[in-house]
Amino acid sequence: MRVNLTVNGRPHTADDVWEGESLLYVLRERLGLPGSKNACEQGECGSCTVRLDGDLVCACLVAAGQAEGREVTTVEGLAQGGEGDGGDRLAPIQRAFVEAGAVQCGFCTPGLLMAADDLLARVPDPADADIREALSGNLCRCTGYETILDAVRLAATRTGGAGTPEAPEAPEGGGRPCASPGRPRGSPSAATGPAGPAGPVGSASPCRAPTAC
């Protein structure tokens, strides 16, 4: 089947998409946007977090066909509204992650950036509990989370919680990175029920919906 979607402000068409193919696969393998990471492909880690019509979702749990006609923002798109030139252009939350030492192997980073940016857009001056809750669907094996919390606090002091504005238009090949079209991240799913695995920094679990997180 053919899927038409807008990614980071640019229209895209993917042909010969298999009915069971995920949005994550389309982004990474068909559209050349590898920022969203495939760590578990089960809605558990948050590494594939993207915005779908403004809502955080796990791209690994969204069927590509569900993105038809919709707006997707991946981690590549975060920088579009940031400061700097070319490859050095970074959104405030991205710069804060670098400066706070919140990036080690980096595999979790795209998903954390998306979740943190979403938080700062919603909550101007987040308390630590807000940050922990917002990032509770994102797993990190390296940092112990403290530097990640530092990074979000740092970004909040600099932006006043403005987050990253919706990007205008991405350069060719540019892109931005959990929840299902019908269910936001962290919500209990019918499949696993409300007592899913504990999140890393908060109590909510990662993406657990069969078709999104």
Which residues in this chain contact ligand FES in the complex, by CB under 6 A?
A: 38-41, 43-48, 58, 60, 103-108, 140-143, 178, 206-207
Q: Please tell me the distance from the alpha carbon of residue 56 to that of residue 51, in angstroms, as a whole number.
A: 4
Q: How far is the CB of 125 from ligand FES (least distance, A)?
A: 25
Q: How far is the CB of 100 from ligand FES (least distance, A)?
A: 12
Of 163, 173, 6, the residue nearest 78 (C-alpha): 163
Nearer to ligand FES, 77 or 177 (CB): 177
Nearer to ligand FES, 161 or 184 (CB): 184
Burial-class residue 34 by CB neighbours within 10 Å (0-12, 13-18, 19+). Answer: middle
Nearer to ligand FES, 7 or 48 (CB): 48
Q: How far is the CB of 171 from ligand FES (least distance, A)?
A: 26
Q: How far is the CB of 85 from ligand FES (least distance, A)?
A: 26
Q: How far is the CB of 72 from ligand FES (least distance, A)?
A: 14
CA 127 to chain centre: 21
Nearer to ligand FES, 40 or 162 (CB): 40
Contacts by residues 121-124 (CB-CB < 8 Å, ≥ 24 positions apart):
121/161, 121/162, 121/163, 121/164, 122/161, 122/163, 123/161, 124/156, 124/160, 124/161, 124/162
- Name beta bridge partners: 163: none
Query: What are the backbone dihedrals phi and psi of residue 39, each rounded to the nearest 5 degrees, phi first?
Result: -100, -40
Strands 49-52 and 3-7, how do they pair? unpaired
DSSP secondary structure, 17-35, as one string:
--TT-BHHHIIIIIS--TT
Nearer to ligand FES, 103 or 115 (CB): 103
Nearer to ligand FES, 60 or 154 (CB): 60
Q: How far is the CB of 83 from ligand FES (least distance, A)?
A: 24
